[in-house]
Amino acid sequence: MNETILIVRNLRKYFPVKGIFFTKGYIKAVDGVTFTVLRGSTLALVGESGSGKSTVGRLILRLIEPDDGEILFNGMNVRKLKNTDLLEFRRRTAIVFQDPYSSLNPRMTVYNILKEPLEAHNIDVGDVEEYIVSLLERVGLGKEHLYRFPHEFSGGQRQRISIARVLALKPELIVLDEPTSSLDVSVQAQILNLLKDLQESDKLTYLFITHDLGVVRYIASMVAVMYLGKIVEIADTDSIFSDSRHPYTRMLLSSIPVPDPKVARAREKAKLTGEPPSPLNPPPGCRFHPRCPYAMDICRKEEPPVVEIEKRHIVCCHLYVRR
Name all domains of the chain by residue range, CATH numbers in brackets: 4-320 (3.40.50.300)
CB 41 within 8 A of CB 73: no
Dmax (CA) for the chain in angstroms is 67
Query: What are 48-106's pLDDT values in tens digits?
Result: 888 899 999 999 999 999 999 999 999 999 999 998 899 999 999 999 998 888 889 99
The pLDDT score that the predictor gives to residue 288 is: 93
CB 106 within 8 A of CB 150: yes
C-alpha 302/C-alpha 305 separation (Å) is 9
Instruction: Give percent helix, percent strand, percent coil of the chain, each to the nearest 5.
Output: 35, 25, 40
Query: What are 177-207's pLDDT values in tens digits?
Result: 998 887 888 888 899 999 999 999 999 999 9
Query: What are 123-182's pLDDT values in tens digits?
Result: 998 899 999 999 999 999 999 999 999 999 998 999 999 999 999 999 999 999 998 887
C-alpha 112/C-alpha 123 separation (Å) is 15
C-alpha 25/C-alpha 8 separation (Å) is 26
C-alpha 159/C-alpha 54 separation (Å) is 18
Instruction: Please determine, for residue 302, whether its predicted confidence score (pLDDT) is greater than 80.
Output: yes
C-alpha 287/C-alpha 28 separation (Å) is 12
C-alpha 228/C-alpha 52 separation (Å) is 7
Closest to 96 measured CA to CA, from 182, 7, 162: 162
C-alpha 323/C-alpha 320 separation (Å) is 9
C-alpha 149/C-alpha 293 separation (Å) is 52
- Residue 207 sits at φ, ψ, to 5 deg, of -110, 105
